[in-house]
Amino acid sequence: MMEIRHFVTFKKVIELGSFTQAAEHLGYTQSTVTSHIQALEEHLGGPLFDRMGRKVRLTDIGKRLLPYTQEILDTYGKIESITSDEEDIRGELKIAAPESLTVYRLEPILREYRRKFPHVSIRLSNASCGDNKRFILNGSADIAFVMLPQLQDSDLVVHSLLEESIVLVGSPDCCSLNMLDKSYDNHKISECLIVNEKECSYRTLFEEYLGERGIVPSHTMELWSIEAMKRCVMSGLGIAYLPLMTVKDEIKAGRLKIIPCIGDFKQIFSQVVYHKNKWISPALSMFIEITLKHAKDWSCAETTC
């Protein structure tokens, strides 16, 4: 017999990528996780995973089972919440967001949500915007924040929150570059370009901008922390293209300066997204409501820094 817990285990193995991690998260032994998966496999008559060392990948049967699993678990969640009211909202909320929005936008949202709904378990993961979008499409996250050009995807419900200003910054004392004007076309600049992960949307846009103008930085330093990037720039180690919200305090304090760039850039928007087929549980519904309320208060005044 297939049981709800078997589908819960199946989904958790997909989310975490291994039987061992799924067992730890669910509080099971690894043999219990294996038995749950075997029960599904025996019922369906084929393997759900290809096991390659510690990594697991979905087979064709597993891929076909995944959307039905989500429907089953969503329906189960609806049944559990039949008698829920706002004061007793429970469950788990899986949120995916990039570092920049987590640090500079989400804190008041999460604080209000935790105060109002203390019985909801929140799992927040940080990854690139491309990964966060994939997490929504494969069901690993319930809702995701991204910073991208305006999303157009028929499988997603998208709420655009705010157009984000992205600026090129350097050290006031050590950066010799004062403006990236036409004189730099088809030239190498002496400054090091300090960047974050390769799938970062604004890194990609800036590298495309430099490529179109034939501008080549002397070298590139890749860091995965915005705070580390800012410290390197403030120390005079290079320049960086970052969301204004992440550097506005340092600009106001005179620790960083904006380097004007000629030409147009694609617009980048903070957006919150979820799958169009996702059941909007009471926990998720209230999170969306609180997010949209806070987004209305996000100020565009920082663009005048």
Tens-digit pLDDT profile for residues 262-287: 988 888 999 999 998 888 888 999 99
Residue environment code for 137-151, b if the CB has 16+ CB neighbours within 10 A, otherwise e: ebbbbbbbbbbbeee
What number of CA atoms fall less than 13 Å from residue 88's CA on the CB side?
A: 6
Tens-digit pLDDT profile for residues 188-238: 998 999 999 888 889 999 999 999 999 999 899 999 889 999 999 999 999
Please tell me the predicted confidence (pLDDT) of residue 32: 93
CB 222 within 8 A of CB 195: yes
Please tell me the predicted confidence (pLDDT) of residue 81: 67
Please tell me the predicted confidence (pLDDT) of residue 51: 78
Query: Model-level pTM?
Result: 0.72
> Backbone phi, then psi, for 203, in 5-degree steps?
-65, -45
Residue environment code for 240-267, b if the CB has 16+ CB neighbours within 10 A, otherwise e: bbbbbbbbbebbeeebbbbbebeeeeee
| Number of neighbouring beta carbons within 10 Å of residue 20 | 13
To the nearest 5 percent, what fractions of the chain are helix, strand and coil?
45, 25, 30
Please tell me the predicted confidence (pLDDT) of residue 253: 95
